Structure 1
């Protein structure tokens, strides 16, 4: 699978039309038809969810994949679910989002110098993409990073899955990834040489499993985002 996108707008349109992974296509469309009872009156997006944020972002936030009743419903990353509630509140608190909530695509939210994306753009069953699905989807992330390269200075990776998926994409895009590859950890901070100096920061994912148990607190998340904001030159 290749893409001829030369702008992020073109890339986002191409992403939203992808049908490369039969299992993910079937699942996302099934969820969009059956729906959750609390959203029964809504029309689900039910397609791959593109990245969100300005084309000249200095900071990228990389998650895992859209949630079945979050991004798969609303059509925007981390929008309309509990994980997004935590993430956007933190982005707002550190000055990277225009408002603390994200409930639908047309709610007026804008991001300051920040783009949110994921290595997998379709909602996967049980939130677990297969390695083959991750690898097939990597062309979209690689193209996105290439288009952001002139301005991109830092990446916050939410969770080990995103970290592991991102490193080979960065290496293919020309950044020098150390050997052995740096391991994911909350608070990890690695500086990569390459087309531009790139700061790679690790943060526990904003999943309910982490936020409800206190493994990831709002203060912990905000600390990583503030550090990323600083090294990205968005202070």
Structure 2
């Protein structure tokens, strides 16, 4: 990697961000993973037949939600024709609608659907993000891509730390990505580290507070179709997380 490219890598750029707004802007300019850059831009150029008339975002997708969130929801990565098309996490695909419907039921989203940047959706006390910010082929980032992208998530959670009380992790990939981030940030995790599972809950301890972490199956099309995760299951985990975060009935 050239010296100029090294300077632009997430490991160098993310820690210097002072605000989430600055972080989100730099995330959208990241080109650190060649395979992901090629794939996201290929999808944006070819497009799905149903969206042929749309202009795809085709860039890394930043987190979404207020900078003083008490609850973070960590997924996997943007969908090729969802976030990679619309430019917002969990937006424009069935997974996004499933998640937003559950957040709306709990009282943390202003509406039950997530279709585009101009749809009026607002999240209350919740920020949605992912350990990988580019759409990966077959929805499978490599471990190296996960590790390269990790500084963005680490800095995002660090900037949220003054208000963050709870994290919900959607899927095993996000779980494996998040726990090293928390450990590196100084959170004391249980030993042995908890294995991922739906409904798993542990508390991490750090200087100045506690952080509750809950696992939840990802609301992917496959998981919802096979009933691996149902709406009541998702609502239950998010409701527990909202209570732990001190959030309740904030939707207007």
* TM-score bucket of the superposed structures, by smaller chain: over 0.9
Q: Which runs of 5+ in 1 are unaligned?
A: none
Alpha-carbon distance between aligned partners in 2 of 1:51 and 1:167, rounded to the nearest angstrom:
18
Q: CA RMSD of the aligned region, Å?
A: 0.6
- 1:56 matched to 2:73? The reply is no
CA displacement 1:187-221 (0-9 Å, x = unmatched):
00101101320000000001011101111000000
TM-score (norm 1): 0.99
Normalised by the size of structure 2, how large is the TM-score?
A: 0.92
Q: Hey, what does 1:227 align to over in structure 2?
A: 240
* Residues 36-185 of structure 1: pairs in structure 2 closer than 5 A: 36-185=48-197
Shift of 1:70: 0.1
Q: Deviations over 1:141-164 (max 9, x none)?
A: 000010000000000000000001
Does the residue aligned with 2:128 lie in a helix, a strand or coil? Answer: strand
Summarize deviations over 1:21-77 as a string: whole Å, max 9, x none: 000000000000000000000000000000000000000000000000000000000
Match of 2:197, SS?
coil
Q: Is there any run of 5+ residues in structure 2 with no aligned partner, and where?
A: 1-10
CA shift, 1:172, in A, is 0.7
Runs of 4+, deviation exceeding 6 Å: none
TM superposition shift of 1:2: 1.6
For 1:231 and 1:85, the matched residues in 2 are separated by 24
